[in-house]
Structure 1
Amino acid sequence: MKSIAALQAVVTAAPFDGEPSVGELDAIEQEMPLILAEVDLLDAEIKTLDRPATGLDERRIRRARNRVLAERRDLTNRIGAMATGGAA
């Protein structure tokens, strides 16, 4: 009977330890305000799933959307400033 085992070596150079790198942690920390704003928007939207949205709910969702947009803008500006060396 012939063996059907792989004839090529394993491609991965180092085993994955399951932990994020320092660079990945820095990126997460930099994006955290946007992540929290998106969570707030999701919470506001979830509250209206099982009942009709009231005027207060609509304002809450609108404010959360505006906060997400502002955080996206700020994150983009921060990343752009880092890429250009801070020169405006």
Structure 2
Amino acid sequence: MKKHRIPVTAEPAAEDLAAIDMEWPLIAAELDVLDAEITMFYAEDHGGPTPLDWRRLRRAEARVTRAAAELAAGIAGPHRAA
């Protein structure tokens, strides 16, 4: 069976890479929320989430809020700590 592959002919433009770099603090913060949520799901199998699990989730959500506000205000920069 022959597979049809579409060749990639264009690389991301410098503007695209700059936009990703600018949004990276928000992306990283959202990944932290996802990681905390996964931990919460697994905790259900072991007696439920601990207070530390809940704290970790709240802090991750707060980081998303801060990163989104900074991005909207235009003060987020490349590799800025979230």
The TM-score, its normalising length taken from structure 1, stands at 0.67
Instruction: Look up the match of 1:75.
Output: 71
Are 2:23 and 1:27 equivalent residues in the alignment? no
Unmatched runs of 5 consecutive residues or more in structure 2: 1-6, 76-82
- Whole-Å Cα distance in 1 between the matches of residues 26 and 38 of structure 2? 18
Q: Secondary structure at the match of 2:40?
A: coil
Residue identity (%) = 46
Aligned length: 65
Instruction: Look up the match of 1:47.
Output: 39
- Whole-Å Cα distance in 2 between the matches of residues 20 and 55 of structure 1? 43
Unmatched runs of 5 consecutive residues or more in structure 1: 1-14, 80-88
- Whole-Å Cα distance in 2 between the matches of residues 34 and 17 of structure 1? 29
Q: Deviation at 1:18?
A: 4.4
The TM-score, its normalising length taken from structure 2, stands at 0.72
Work out which of the two has the higher radius of gyration on C-alpha atoms and give 1 or 2: 1
User: Whose helix proportion is higher, 1 or 2?
Assistant: 2
Point out which structure has higher relative CO (alpha carbons under 8 A, 6+ apart). Answer: 2
Q: 1:18 to 1:54 in 2, by over 3 A?
A: farther
- 4+ long deviations beyond 6 Å: none
